[in-house]
Structure 1
Amino acid sequence: MKSAIKRIDTVFVPVTDIKRSEEWYLSLFPFRVVYRSEQEDYVGFRFNEPGPLQAGLTLYQTDSIPESKHLAFNFYTSDVDAVHAHFGQNGVKVSEIHGNSGMRFFDLWDPDGNSLGVVTFDEKWSIIE
């Protein structure tokens, strides 16, 4: 039965203003909208790239953001310096770039204060045989 599970399909992020957050995420990430609930309290994104489906991101409307002490996930990039500069130039709150165990990464915060990460590492490093 384990082989029937193929990937992580969707990561859910709580937001207090779905329209504002949709605009923010679409302005910064290479996403396209692939789902919107009839009540407009969910909006789902996929990366705007050809090829096999990758994990998606879904924003959901909530009255308050649950407190979290850890990042829910990282975005991967091959150029962490350029992404960091781009976000900073667009008014996104970002941390400094840090390095550890062959990785370089930084944190950023969306309009609701959700903490997200951006990481880079040698992709060959991530394959364990």
Structure 2
Amino acid sequence: MSMLESVDTVCLGVSNIMKAKQWYSEKLGLKVVFQEHNYAVLSLGDSSIPLTIEEKEVVSNNAIYPIFYTSNIEETHQNLSEKGVKLTEIVSEGSNTFFDVFDLDGNKMQVCFY
């Protein structure tokens, strides 16, 4: 048996947990499933791996980022754009199509379809 059994969560640093929690809920439709004073765990649809946002004094743009899957990338891109979310254009690279999403602190996330 492996010492490490699974990925538990993906964690992003944010400057204000209350504002970030509201942004992730309103803009991305994520649901808060657990919260402590400086972090919140958010559920992602049917995924068993949640996203954790943690308040930090210094927030730097992340080099490691979560990639979310969608079955309708054009609709998802349009919906997020209408909500005022900072996005890149949709990029197609062979069988993978994706775009980047940025939260209030400039944390990069990606949405893909394949």
Tell me whether the two structures share a fold, i.e. TM-score over 0.5: yes
Q: Does 1:95 align with 2:88?
A: yes
Match of 1:44 among 28, 41, 44: 41
SS in 1 for 2:48: coil
Decide whether the 8 Å contact of 2:92 with 2:98 is kept in 1.
Answer: yes
- SS of structure 2 residue aligned to 1:35: strand
- The TM-score normalised by the length of structure 1 is 0.80
RMSD: 1.8
Residues 108/2 of structure 1: CA separation in 2 closer, same or farther (3 Å cut): same
Larger Rg: 1
Name stretches of at least 5 consecutive residues in structure 1 with no aligned partner.
122-129
Could you tell me which residue of structure 2 aligns to residue 8 of structure 1? 7
Moved over 6 A (4+): none
> % of aligned pairs identical?
27
| C-alpha distance in structure 1 between counterparts of 2:109 and 2:44, whole Å | 16
TM-score by length of 2: 0.90
Q: How many residues align?
A: 114
Q: For 2:25 and 2:12, how far apart are their aligned partners in 1?
A: 14
CA separation of 1:61/1:48 partners in 2, compared to 1, >3 Å: closer, same or farther? same
